[in-house]
């Protein structure tokens, strides 16, 4: 009888890591979706009569370049920045598919297209032995809270209209967390480094986690490159392959005092997409 009891205890200890691992995976699958911007043509030609155009597709999920669908209602902003005057031009996403939206540019220049999710709360908790997911704060939850966070997500993409403009896109657009390229990717080649700076609330984000990959590297959730920013918020991304790239900056902080009753953690994400020709 003692041997059976010992065996059951041993079996329980064997499965404990699996249970814990599952609990860790669940939140990443349910709320770990990332937003980015896909572009049909990062270098559209401009014609005096017809201007230049390209299409922007909203990427959403875990697998670059396409994974899940993002609803129009989840977007908080969607616009492009004029390189000449800095004015923001609001875009209306096409409600079908991947929110594929045609964007027209009347003048040559280095354009930035941006998007932002509506911020929100997510809570995962156990009540009466069952796992529950709540798209809201932990306040009012009766069970044991496993994970509770506040999130914000931002995305940018770089579009060169007219090959003569090699500016660096180094003007921030003002997102809470933002990846600012310090060189224009169009002047880079395979093997070069792209310097970037991550800003959080307008200041350098020190020691922020950075992940990068290029289209075709993997059909899963893998990234081709991982690094961190230095004390000045700067990181170097090795260009391992030509073509479209995605860079992701990920920052997690403890909840501030005014949000402690609603969540335990603050999660901020920024993505940047571009093409190395």
| CA–CA distance, 181 with 195 (Å, rounded to integer) | 6
Calculate the average pLDDT of the chain. Answer: 88
158 shares its domain with 36? yes
191 shares its domain with 252? yes
pLDDT for 76 beyond 90: yes
Q: What is the 3-state secondary structure (H, E, C) of 75-115?
A: EEEEEEECCCCCCEEECCCCCCCCCCEEEEECCCEEEEEEE
> 112 with 155: CB under 8 angstroms?
no
Instruction: Name every residue whose Cβ is closer than 8 Å to that of residue 58 and which is 6 or more positions away in sequence.
Output: 35, 37, 38, 70, 75, 93, 98, 99, 115
| CA–CA distance, 93 with 103 (Å, rounded to integer) | 10
- Work out the pLDDT band at 51, boundaries 50, 70, 90: confident
Q: What percent of the chain has pLDDT over 90?
A: 78
Residue of 23, 20, 261, 22 lying closest to 121 (CA atoms): 261
- Work out the pLDDT band at 81, boundaries 50, 70, 90: very high
167 shares its domain with 199? yes
72 shares its domain with 203? yes
Q: pLDDT higher for 162 or 189?
A: 189
136 shares its domain with 20? no
What pLDDT does residue 220 have?
87
117 shares its domain with 201? yes
Q: What percent of the chain has pLDDT over 70?
A: 88
Average the pLDDT over 153-166 and give the result. Answer: 88
Instruction: Name every residue whose Cβ is closer than 8 Å to that of residue 273 and which is 6 or more positions away in sequence.
Output: 36, 37, 38, 39, 59, 155, 156, 157, 158, 244, 245, 246, 247
- Work out the pLDDT band at 48, boundaries 50, 70, 90: confident
Radius of gyration for the chain, computed over Cα atoms and rounded to the nearest angstrom: 22
18 shares its domain with 78? no
52 shares its domain with 170? yes
- If residue 249 lies in a helix (H) or strand (E), which one and from where to where? strand 243-254
17 shares its domain with 64? no
47 shares its domain with 117? yes
What pLDDT does residue 5 have?
44
> 148 with 134: CB under 8 angstroms?
no
pLDDT for 199 beyond 50: yes
79 shares its domain with 95? yes
How many domains does the structure of the chain reveal?
Answer: 2
6 shares its domain with 63? no
pLDDT for 191 beyond 70: yes
> 142 with 109: CB under 8 angstroms?
no
pLDDT for 23 beyond 70: no
- The model's pLDDT over 86-115, given as tens digits with 9 standing for 90+, comes to 889 999 998 877 999 999 999 889 999 999
To 5 degrees, how large is the angle CA 81–CA 114–CA 236? Answer: 100
Q: Which of 28-37, 69-78, 108-117 shows the lowest per-residue confidence on average (mean pLDDT)?
A: 28-37
> 63 with 118: CB under 8 angstroms?
no
Q: What is the pTM of this model?
A: 0.86
Q: Print the domain residue range for 267.
A: 32-124+129-276
| CA–CA distance, 157 with 149 (Å, rounded to integer) | 27
| CA–CA distance, 120 with 75 (Å, rounded to integer) | 12
Average the pLDDT over 11-17 and give the result. Answer: 39
What pLDDT does residue 163 have?
65
């Amino acid at each position: 009888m003692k041997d059976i009891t010992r065996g059951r205890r041993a079996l329980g200890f064997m499965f404990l890591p699996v249970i814990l691992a599952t609990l860790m995976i669940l939140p990443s699958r349910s709320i770990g979706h990332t937003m980015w911007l896909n572009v049909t043509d990062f270098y559209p030609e401009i014609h005096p009569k017809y201007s230049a155009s390209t299409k922007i597709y909203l990427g959403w999920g875990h697998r670059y370049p396409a994974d899940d669908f993002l609803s129009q209602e989840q977007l908080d902003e969607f616009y492009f920045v004029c390189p000449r005057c800095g004015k923001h031009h609001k875009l209306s996403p096409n409600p079908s598919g991947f929110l594929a939206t045609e964007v027209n540019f009347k003048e040559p220049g280095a354009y930035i297209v941006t998007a932002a999710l509506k911020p929100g709360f997510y809570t995962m908790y156990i009540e009466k032995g069952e796992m529950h997911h709540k798209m809201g704060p932990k306040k009012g939850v009766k069970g044991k809270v496993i994970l509770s966070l506040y999130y914000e997500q931002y995305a940018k993409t770089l579009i060169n209209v007219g090959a003569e403009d090699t500016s660096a896109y180094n003007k921030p657009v003002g997102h809470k967390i933002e990846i600012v390229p310090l060189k224009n990717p169009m002047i880079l080649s395979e093997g070069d480094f792209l310097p970037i700076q991550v800003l959080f609330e307008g200041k350098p984000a020190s020691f922020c986690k950075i992940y990068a990959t290029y289209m075709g590297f993997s059909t899963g959730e893998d990234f081709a490159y991982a690094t961190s920013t230095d004390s000045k918020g700067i990181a170097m991304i090795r260009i391992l392959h030509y073509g479209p790239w995605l860079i992701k900056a990920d920052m997690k902080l403890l909840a501030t005092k005014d949000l402690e009753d609603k969540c335990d953690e603050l999660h901020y994400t920024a993505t940047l997409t571009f093409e190395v020709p």
